[in-house]
Amino acid sequence: MNDDLYALLGVGRDASDDELKRAYRQKARELHPDATGGDAATDERFKEVSMAYEVLRDPERRARYDRFGAEGVFGPAAGGGGFGGNPGDIFGGGGLGDLFDAFFNGGVQGGGARRRTGPVPGPDVEMVLGLEFREAVFGARREVTVEGPVHCETCAGSGARPGTSAVRCPDCGGAGELRRVRNSILGQVVTATPCQRCQGTGEAVTTPCSDCGGDGRKVVERTLTVEVPAGVDDGSTLRLGGHGPAGYRGGPNGALFVHLSVNEDDVFEREGSDLHADLHVAMTQAALGATVGFETLDDHRDVVVAPGTQTGQVVRMKGLGVPHVRGRGRGDLYVRMVVETPTELDPGQRELLEHLAIERGEAIAPPGPDKLFSKIRSALS
């Protein structure tokens, strides 16, 4: 064991009470058996760190340690019986488990370790649900099929044959856990593990149900209805409490987490609660102005194209976006104008545009050979 209690906590000899407490909390979280899985070497380290903090947080013990070293607090003169003494003498009669619980669990009632008995809840499960864009915007009711354990109807989830009941577990005596006592430098150390026979419930089934074999559950395929609220987005998650797997021997159901995957739309792009879309208008409509029909997610609307509209100009349509999933109202729809230039012109259309260009004094490309010969023939005829 490291006799330097300050080094065990990783602080200097002038550390304040708050610094000692923060250092202990950090070390205890890293080394506590619940976090490490019961590794023997780490358990011993945890006990040493806890002992160091218990000494240094007490002003009188800390003063003795600073003056006389380990002998001042652990030696015979200190009344502690050395490192092989009773850990209750060092930790004020409460033991290491009580010290850790007092810091991280709000104190210990009755001076003993807490035991969790009774039905064990079922685990949580996850699934992915694909949605169309409009389903995510306006909400939907979707049926999904899940397979997992449900409570056995024959025994009502108890695992016991109808007419019988479970008894106190003979392995753990109803405690739900098995305790092991071992010797360490601090004396006797008690560790607890869940009882495998009763799975921590404290009860054992001696006459198991013929349908579920005493488990209290059967694996079946179920169909559930998922209510998708309006306004959800890609990556959103719905929690369906009580729709997950049933717990062992009557334990409550876990939760079903439904992750939503929303398909993209060919027309609309989403940005939060707002929608964006392009509206293609002809060059003449953009120049002269027009009213153009546009299909929103709700219905058909007329969009007014102002004379002289340029590509990139935006028309805002209030309240036609995505509903706010956690509030009232909806976002807006922003329609971006895209002015289209004609690429194929018949001779008459080209001539009209040429006249327009001449009227406006705009330089244009000269006509091709065929067009030039046509003009010459027209002049000679």
Q: How many CB atoms lie within 10 A of CB 81?
A: 14
Domains 125-166+205-262 and 269-340 share a fold: yes
Q: How many CB atoms lie within 10 A of CB 172?
A: 25
Least confident of 64-68, 231-235, 294-298, 318-322: 64-68
Least confident of 4-8, 46-50, 56-60, 217-221: 46-50
Q: What is the mean pLDDT of residues 309-338?
A: 95
Q: What is the pLDDT of residues 276-285, one digit of tens each?
A: 999 999 999 9
pLDDT of residue 367: 67
Q: What is the mean pLDDT of residues 62-82?
A: 66
Pick the more confident residue, 263 or 121: 263
Question: Which residue shows structure tokens 């000679």?
Answer: 380
Domain parsing of the chain, residue ranges: 5-104, 125-166+205-262, 269-340, 347-380
Task: Provide CATH code, domain 269-340.
Answer: 2.60.260.20
Q: What is the mean pLDDT of residues 238-249?
A: 91
φ/ψ of 135, rounded to 5, equals -65, -40
Q: What is the pLDDT of residues 170-222, one digit of tens each?
A: 988 888 888 888 776 656 777 888 888 888 888 889 899 999 998 899 999 99
Q: What CATH superfamily is the domain 5-104?
A: DnaJ domain (1.10.287.110)
Q: Which CATH number does the domain 125-166+205-262 belong to among 2.60.40.10, 2.120.10.30, 3.40.630.30, 2.60.260.20?
A: 2.60.260.20
Pick the more confident residue, 312 or 27: 312
Q: Is the dihedral of CA 362, 365, 369, 371 positive or negative?
A: negative
